[in-house]
Structure 1
Amino acid sequence: MKGVLLVNLGSPDTPSPKDIRKYLDEFLMDKRVIDSNIILRNIIVRGIILNTRPKKSAEAYQKIWWKEGSPLIVLSERFHKKVSGKTDIPVALGMRYGSMTIKEGYEKLIKQGVTEVLLVPLYPHYAMSSFETVEEKAKQVQKKYFPQMTTEVLPAFYNKPDYIKVMANNIRKNIENFDHDHILFSYHGIPESHVLKSDCTKSHCKLDNSCCDTFSKCHATCYRHQCLETTKEIVKELDLKEGSYSNSFQSRLGKEPWLKPYTDFEFNRLPQEENKKKLAVITPAFVSDCLETLEEIAMEGDKQFKKGGGKTYKHIPCLNDNDDWVDVMVDWIDLWAKKTKK
């Protein structure tokens, strides 16, 4: 019997420093998030970050926390419920970090008689610190606790036409009555070193547009290339004019170089250097609104842009439990079930 396991990032149980510290410890000690050796990672995470960041993060989480709980969890649950209601295939939900674990997701499926699982990392793009860590963790859990099951992974869907269409429709709907002169595609940032490590050829990636625009098999695991391709496809769908949009990368951590340009820098540069005063921001690396979109972009981004000289600002919500997005996921699930049907 076939079943599906949807997996998102996860969240602290509450917006308290104690629960955030516990969550950040699991998240940042993941070798695919901070890929230093274990000794250095311990020093960085447990010796420095966890002694300062939980309190600051708690203040941010408290700004966006809902009565029902963490927005990412609530929205993921809503999406899961809608998807489950539109397919005959059993569907479970798990999180890479925190509560609602991947193991619990497998347990729910096996109780329903599932032996073949489609793992769906809820990330459009491939990156070590997101898609890859979900895939590897799920395989470890399945092999250790559920050897009688098999797992197939839905590939990154950054350029799938139906995903691009729902993304474009979401943007179109949200800017229909918003007077804007620029759209900023703000993707979650990753260290440049992660991009280089994901290059299976060990020679193609140059971290410039020449390598991203030149075909290579390494594009299957190149986060930067995939982000830029998402923008290109959405731009085509919306028929945006050159100069009316741009890309950036947010949420960097530490002092090593991350993918550029940085979103917070762009909030100042766009109004000051390009005279872009009316900005709409979309965050295509996320399918569910969360701390990085609701606080960093919707709240802090608004302040930064206007402080830099901007006049009007709009954060475009993620797809969340958008019905069109639900239908796309259901189509992918049903297609997988038909293709693998014996």
Structure 2
Amino acid sequence: MTSATRPPHAPADHPNVARGKTGILIANLGTPDDHSYWPMRRYLNEFLSDKRVIDYPWWKWQPILQLIILTKRPFSSGKAYESIWDKQRNESPLMTITRNQTRKIEAEMKDRFGDQVMVDFCMRYGNPATRAKLREMVAAGCERVLFFPLYPQYAGATTATANDQFFRALMDEKWQPAARTVPAYFEHPAYIEALAASIERAYAGAQKRPELLVVSYHGMPKRYLMEGDPYHCQCQKTTRLLQERLGWKSTELTTTFQSQFGPEDWLRPYTVEEVARLAREEGKKSIAVVAPAFSSDCIETLEEINEEIRESFEHAGGEHFTYIPCLNDDDAHIAALSEIIAENLGGWVV
């Protein structure tokens, strides 16, 4: 950390100022502090009150959220979190993985740029909060901050809301650092290579080679696509680039969407329904599922895919279900993220 000193030629009573660093602030979705009712309710309230996530009018949505959803959902969501909770560390896997990713990226950045950079992470919802982490960076002398939402594909409900929170945090600073945000990296060669390599390893280690790879992305209302959100198109391109890199036929993989919520029509096909259809109607006995939209394993992968979606496939007659973990802190993933960061630091550090 840069030590604070009095600027040259400043009067004796001028406050000390730390200067000279470039901050790299990595952002992930977030996690509750605990899986019990009140921490879950606070987390879900922050998440589901975000207009980027649920864009219904406040007067219409908030009574439903506060009086109905938040009286029941903290129990069911808390039970799901409890099934994957790291009781030894008393935190969710997302927190553990994001911290490990950050430490490895920090080591890479220090090797490249030395003490010029400061690396940390924040969460869009819950802790550590974006505002608090930006404040720490500014206090440590970061005159420039690169903000990196860990979402390969852009969506208003993920990348944009993380950026929104970062911009709101900048509004609190008397002396704002220069700021950049990292764009979506859904087609970056290093990301595609890391993803493909993880699939090849999983297939090589499978007891029975899967007949089909289900490439499952987090869903969103179809209306968002029609209103201009590029997420669906970027997901499709990731799948296509992945297929090309693997050298597979188009019949060897399929794109689906998971985690639908509420009464609207979401992007289809729904993963939980499609895996059952594959087993029941196409006679698929062995499939693998990978989730390229998630940079870290979390509730949507460890509980939803590896429990709920697996169960849907097996109940429909499927026999072999392989879940391919997210890239997490795999060395190839860290190298890809570090390359993306270095590209976006151009002109700021040497």
Q: For the structure 1 residues 91 and 269, does the alpha-carbon distance in structure 2 shift closer, same or farther, using more than 3 Å as the test?
A: same
Letter paired with 1:325: H
- Give the structure 1 partner of residue 126 of structure 2: 98
Q: For the structure 1 residues 133 and 147, does the alpha-carbon distance in structure 2 shift closer, same or farther, using more than 3 Å as the test?
A: farther
- Give the structure 2 partner of residue 134 of structure 1: 162
- Give the structure 2 partner of residue 316 of structure 1: 324
User: In the aligned structure 2, how far is the partner of 1:326 from the partner of 1:184?
Assistant: 24
- Give the structure 2 partner of residue 297 of structure 1: 305
Contact 2:22–2:348 (8 Å) recurs in 1: no
**CA-CA distance at 1:339 after TM superposition:** 3.3
User: In the aligned structure 1, how far is the partner of 2:101 from the partner of 2:78?
Assistant: 26
Please state whether the residue corresponding to 1:115 is helix, strand or coil: strand
Q: Could you state the TM-score of these two structures normalised by the residue count of structure 1?
A: 0.91
Please state whether the residue corresponding to 1:90 is helix, strand or coil: strand
- Give the structure 1 partner of residue 34 of structure 2: 14
Establish whether residue 40 from structure 1 lines up as the match of residue 60 from structure 2: yes
Contact 2:214–2:288 (8 Å) recurs in 1: yes
Any stretches of 5+ residues in structure 1 without a counterpart?
200-220
User: In the aligned structure 2, how far is the partner of 1:164 from the partner of 1:95?
Assistant: 25
User: In the aligned structure 2, how far is the partner of 1:140 from the partner of 1:58?
Assistant: 29
- Give the structure 2 partner of residue 306 of structure 1: 314
**CA-CA distance at 1:341 after TM superposition:** 4.5
Establish whether residue 188 from structure 1 lines up as the match of residue 210 from structure 2: no
User: In the aligned structure 2, how far is the partner of 1:80 from the partner of 1:19?
Assistant: 25
From 220, 231, 241, the counterpart of 1:223: 231
Contact 2:273–2:312 (8 Å) recurs in 1: no
**CA-CA distance at 1:280 after TM superposition:** 0.3
- Give 4+ residue runs of structure 1 displaced > 4 Å after superposition: none
Q: For the structure 1 residues 146 and 127, does the alpha-carbon distance in structure 2 shift closer, same or farther, using more than 3 Å as the test?
A: farther
Let me know the Cα RMSD of the aligned residues: 1.3
User: In the aligned structure 2, how far is the partner of 1:231 from the partner of 1:146?
Assistant: 44
Contact 1:92–1:108 (8 Å) recurs in 2: no
**CA-CA distance at 1:16 after TM superposition:** 0.8
User: In the aligned structure 2, how far is the partner of 1:274 from the partner of 1:147?
Assistant: 61
**CA-CA distance at 1:146 after TM superposition:** 5.2
- Give the structure 2 partner of residue 212 of structure 1: none
Count of residue pairs the alignment pairs up = 320
Contact 1:184–1:246 (8 Å) recurs in 2: yes
User: In the aligned structure 2, how far is the partner of 1:229 from the partner of 1:145?
Assistant: 38
Identity over aligned pairs, percent: 35
Contact 1:126–1:222 (8 Å) recurs in 2: yes
